[in-house]
Amino acid sequence: MDATAPTDPTTSRAARILGRPFDINGLTLRNRIAMAPMTREFSPDGVPGADVAEYYARRAAGGVGLIVTEGTYVDHASAGSSHRVPHFHGEAALAGWQRVAEAVHAAGGKIVPQLWHVGATRDAGQGPIPSAPPAGPSGLGLDGEAKGHAMTGADVDAVIKAFADSAAAAERIGFDGVELHGAHGYLIDQFLWGVTNRRTDGYGGDLASRTRFATEIVEAVRAAVSPTFPVIFRLSQWKANAFDAKLATSPAELESLLAPLAAAGVDAFHASTRRYWLPEFDDTDLNLAGWVKKLTGRATLSVGSVGLDKEFVGPQGFTTETASTGIDLLLDRMERDEFDAVAVGRALIADAEWANKALTDRLGEAAPYDAGLLRRLA
């Protein structure tokens, strides 16, 4: 069966729905299944090695249409908090990432790096540059208490340039697009959220003003790459310490957040929720990705506990084990085009063949996620 163009009416429902090709700004993906970004800390000194290339290539060979890499640090002293999370700058790291892209392409997949700055979630003294202080829009942590320093205008300009430089590098070394991490309480999201952004200059104030930093990053990235190089923006309402947080409490507020980003050049939005089946607002059952698509007309990817029976993180902490589940609810939503593609996380860590198993009605054979076995299963 050719999962890229399932026209035979006897093919499975999953193949007919998930196996359709999908286009983002001219980039054609063979199906509607993406690999979600998942931090693993398997890149000592920030350099991805042959094992990282093999890890992603196995998922591409297993049928994934688009791979979004784990978060990668842009070139700013305060961007990261671990010596083992990969960088997306510097000769050694970029050479390693070029080999990753080549391996994924050889396996038939497409790949984009997720570009990341952790902002004030970083604790003082953490690597890769321990001397750098945590930095955020207002010198506040996610709890609203003082942490690190408030970014100056020069800091803002430096971070915007760092994102643009990494995006240009991604195109230069053969990646298929980029994703900007604007979710989960990290730096871009800290500017978007009123709890962490108390600025009184042009980067703070109402929601539209708080969007300025993200918008300027998108504009700089768009200017640094070719017009047909896809730019994806990941957003979420929830934060790492606040699962009920809301950037937008209504569709109107969400539109005020999204419109400047779409106008600046975002080609697709990756809407992160912890459970994809939950409605975002009260008046319809659309999830966050569904609302983003409705409000912007841009392509959207949904994510959140796909194929598993427990969310990744919640009030009780991180989930270490889950059981595999079916995807009928997902197919129902995709059949009515609520969103365009689905990103799969832990299920793809557990089983590199998850995509092919989904497309051929073999999810009953899919391995369950077990964090204790992550190294063996990677």
Can you tell me whether residue 155 is helix, strand or coil? helix
* Distance (Å, whole) CA 270 – CA 68: 10
Split at pLDDT 50, 70, 90, the class of 371 is low
Please name every residue paired with 181 in a beta bridge, in sequence order, or none if there are none: 234
| Token pair in block for residue 91 | 């000769």
Q: What is the pLDDT of residue 4?
A: 44
Q: In Å, how far from its chain's centre is CA 149? A: 26
Split at pLDDT 50, 70, 90, the class of 213 is very high
Mean pLDDT score of the chain, rounded to an integer? 91
Split at pLDDT 50, 70, 90, the class of 364 is confident
Which of these ranges, 154-163, 197-206, 305-314, has the smallest mean pLDDT? 305-314
Q: Which of 186, 203, 276, 369 is catalytic?
A: 186
Q: What is the mean pLDDT of residues 18-28?
A: 97
- Please enumerate in sequence order all residues whose Cβ is within 8 A of that of 241, keeping only pairs 6 or more positions apart, or say none: 142, 143, 185
- Please enumerate in sequence order all residues whose Cβ is within 8 A of that of 109, keeping only pairs 6 or more positions apart, or say none: 56, 57, 59, 60, 61, 64, 65, 66, 67
By the 8 A CB rule, do 240 and 193 touch? Answer: no
Q: What is the mean pLDDT of residues 158-163?
A: 98
Q: What is the pLDDT of residue 84?
A: 96
pLDDT over 80 at 375, yes or no: no
By the 8 A CB rule, do 324 and 347 touch? Answer: yes
pLDDT over 80 at 223, yes or no: yes
pLDDT digit string, tens, across residues 49-107: 999 999 999 999 999 999 999 999 999 999 999 999 999 999 999 999 999 999 999 99
By the 8 A CB rule, do 151 and 117 touch? Answer: no
| Token pair in block for residue 46 | 């920030």
Q: What is the pLDDT of residue 310?
A: 47
**H helices then E strands: how many in the chain?**
13, 14
How many percent of the chain have pLDDT more than 70? 90
Split at pLDDT 50, 70, 90, the class of 293 is very high
By the 8 A CB rule, do 20 and 170 touch? Answer: no
* Distance (Å, whole) CA 291 – CA 255: 9
**Which helix (DSSP H) or strand (DSSP E) does residue 116 occupy?**
strand 110-116
Which residue segments constitute the domains of the chain, with CATH numbers given? 13-377 (3.20.20.70)
pLDDT over 90 at 305, yes or no: no
* Distance (Å, whole) CA 288 – CA 302: 8
- The single-letter code of the amino acid at 235 is L
Q: What is the mean pLDDT of residues 213-218?
A: 98
Catalytic residue flag (residue 186)? yes
